[in-house]
Amino acid sequence: MYQIGNLVKELSDEHGHARESLMPILQAIVQKHNYLTDEAMVEVARVLDISAAEVYGTASFYTFLDTQEKGKYVIRVCKTITCSMKGKSDIIHVIEEMLKIKVGETTSDKQFSLIETNCIGWCHKAPAILINELPYTELTPEKVSEIIKDYMQK
Amino acid sequence: MENKGLTKVDLIFEQIDNHEVLAKGFNMSKEDIIQEMLDSGLKGRGGAGFPTGMKWKFTAAEKNPEKYIVCNADEGEPGTFKDREILDRVSNKVHGGMAIAGKAIGAKKGIVYLRGEYRYLLPKLMIELESFHKMIKEIGYDFQIEYRMGSGAYICGEESALFESIEGKRGEPRNKPPYPTVSGVFEKPTSINNVETLVTAMMIIQHGAKNFIQYGTKDSRGSKVFSVSGDTPTPGIFELELGMTVQQFVNEFGDGDTKAVQVGGASGFCVPRKKFAETIIGFEGVPTGGSMKLFNSSRSMYNVLHNYLDFFAEESCGQCTPCRVGCQQLLKGVEKVKKGEAKSTYLNELMKLADTMKIAAKCGLGQSVGNAFKSIVGNFKEEIIY
């Protein structure tokens, strides 16, 4: 859990108070805190003067606007056909072993979440993952293990 | 049918003097720009292939003083990654194409809707956009572009869902008509064009429609960027002249053991080896937004189909019943047949369901699930059953 504080006000000053400002505001909260708390969504609703149901309804439509608690680093492993053909399961296996979590889970120190995602547009360099917004491509079990190790030391 | 063979070209990624091309475009009348597009025969590069000149003509004809150019950069079709590369390498041509389109239809504002998966590109694009704005100001032309981000929903590549998303709502497709040219984003007349289409429009302004139509065939003019992946020794992004057969494509990109090519991604068509020679890649044969996936004989086409159906079941927006329920039933159906819990004749029922979805689904997503389903089941029935 995080405290939303003045963030929504700051974001609405930047992006505006119209309905079209909703996505940029929710995206900015997720960029900072990795997911949306109920408190955050209620505050967004209050500031934009729309119902909390509208905010939740919009957020829950988009997979990147998580409404469940997520770790500081969200690892998204592409599971679509080419990545699947080129060894996505091995990549997931390595990450699961290193972080001691399964797909869909978050580590107890809230540092990492591991999820599968649909095509991220790196089929020619499969298998590929996103860690937050950064893509990592042409992965091998060794390569992904180095990458995760680096993140664990951050 | 015309067959042009496989020819690599380098026009999309060619660095150009943006200033010069734009000055030329801004000096043309809007009627002349639209006529040039119509003469070029350019069809939309996102996959659906609507004639770009017609789209601009319809939007230009609307009386509303407030209009928009929207650049669809929500590239989510499995196997497509060319728009990312285009934005990464020649964003000046994308922005330029939007300004030319703006001139043609009478819009002063442009919005690029970029998929959330490509957010890492945004800082670089912002810098390039700033210098673009500076440049057109120097030319003395008023046009402003802004970026909006997606958040991981494939359906937002559908034009009306994309507008809903820009407006801050769930990305659920709208009923049509009205079409975007009449009522698009913020209910204003909108021309929504794919990233590559806008770059190609710039190219047509630069070289002229006469030069453009020397490439490609009567139904598929010009060249196009292909995203090649799967079982190939040379995966990547290639600009090729339109009009080649799948056989010629496979000769160039195959690994010697290609048994099928999925043309156009999960919503496209599966072409089996026996049809390689007779199938042309283009609007006269199998259309594609660029996604070309090769499968060799080590791959199970059941796994391919299952992966696609799983994708659609997750990405269906859930708004209309034919798509929401249809995707799930197709997925469950092939699983049942594979496990022997349903007879192989059940596949015939599923084929009928795919037909129903094509007629009854509200948008392109549900309507095109049957493309992959029917072409894979139709050509690889044994692999689905056993």
Nearest CA in chain A to B306: A81
The answer to whether B308 and B78 are in contact (CB under 8 A) is: yes
Please tell me whether residues A87 and A30 are part of one structural domain: no
Q: Which of B149, B236, B293 sits opposite A81 (nearest CB)?
A: B293
Please tell me whether residues A90 and A133 are part of one structural domain: yes
Q: Residue A130: which CATH number? A: 3.40.30.10
A66 domain-assigned: no
- Quote the CA–CA distance of B359 and B320 in Å, as a whole number: 12
A68 domain-assigned: no
Please tell me whether residues A137 and A84 are part of one structural domain: yes
Please tell me whether residues A47 and A117 are part of one structural domain: no
Rounded to the nearest angstrom, the gap between the alpha carbon of residue B71 and the centroid of all alpha carbons in its chain is 12
Please tell me whether residues A97 and A39 are part of one structural domain: no
SS (H, E, C) B293-326: EEEECCCCHHHHHHHHHHHHHHHCCCCCHHHHHH
Please tell me whether residues A40 and A78 are part of one structural domain: no
User: What pLDDT, on the 0 to 100 scale, is given for residue A15?
Assistant: 96
Please tell me whether residues A82 and A51 are part of one structural domain: no
Please tell me whether residues A132 and A109 are part of one structural domain: yes
Q: Which domain holds residue A49?
A: 7-59
A52 domain-assigned: yes
Flag if A85 and B227 touch (Cβ within 8 Å).
no
Question: A110: distance to nearest CA of chain B, Å?
Answer: 22
A100 domain-assigned: yes
pLDDT digits (tens, 9 = 90+) for B29-78: 999 999 999 999 999 999 889 999 999 999 999 999 999 999 999 999 99
Please tell me whether residues A143 and A92 are part of one structural domain: yes
CA proximity to B91, closest of B55, B135, B58, B39: B135
Please tell me whether residues A119 and A52 are part of one structural domain: no
Sketch out chain B's domains with CATH numbers.
18-212 (3.40.50.11540), 223-296 (3.10.20.600), 301-385 (1.20.1440.230)
pLDDT digits (tens, 9 = 90+) for B159-194: 999 999 999 999 999 999 999 999 999 999 999 999
User: What pLDDT, on the 0 to 100 scale, is given for residue B3?
Assistant: 62
A67 domain-assigned: no
**In one letter, which amino acid is A47?**
V
Two tokens, residue A88: 């996505």
Flag if A118 and B154 touch (Cβ within 8 Å).
yes
Please tell me whether residues A77 and A146 are part of one structural domain: yes
User: What pLDDT, on the 0 to 100 scale, is given for residue B2?
Assistant: 54
Edge-to-edge, what's the strand order for the sheet holding B109-114?
A: B144-149, B109-114, B68-73, B190-194
* pLDDT < 50 positions in chain B: 1
A1 domain-assigned: no
Total domains, chain A? 2
pLDDT band at A5 (very low <50, low <70, confident <90, very high): confident
- Quote the CA–CA distance of B217 and B83 in Å, as a whole number: 23
User: What pLDDT, on the 0 to 100 scale, is given for residue A1?
Assistant: 81
User: What pLDDT, on the 0 to 100 scale, is given for residue B5?
Assistant: 81
User: What pLDDT, on the 0 to 100 scale, is given for residue B47?
Assistant: 86
CA proximity to B113, closest of B146, B81, B141: B146
Residue that the structure tokens 């350019």 belong to: B42
Tell me the C-alpha to C-alpha distance, in Å, between residue B134 and each of B28, B72, B95, B221, B329. Answer: 21, 23, 12, 33, 53
- Interface size, chain A vs chain B, as Cβ–Cβ contacts under 8 Å: 117
pLDDT band at A71 (very low <50, low <70, confident <90, very high): very high
CA proximity to B118, closest of A134, A6, A3, A138: A134
Flag if B153 and A65 touch (Cβ within 8 Å).
no
The answer to whether B205 and B100 are in contact (CB under 8 A) is: yes
Rg (CA), chain A: 17
- Quote the CA–CA distance of B195 and B131 in Å, as a whole number: 19
- Quote the CA–CA distance of A78 and A98 in Å, as a whole number: 18
Nearest CA in chain A to B296: A85
Listed in sequence order, the DSSP H helices in chain B are 18-27, 30-40, 52-61, 82-105, 122-139, 159-166, 195-207, 209-212, 246-253, 301-315, 321-339, 346-360, 364-379, 381-385
Q: ipTM, 2 decimals?
A: 0.97
Nearest CA in chain B to A79: B307
Q: Which of A23, A80, A121 sits opposite B168 (nearest CB)?
A: A23
Please tell me whether residues A32 and A81 are part of one structural domain: no
A96 domain-assigned: yes
A65 domain-assigned: no
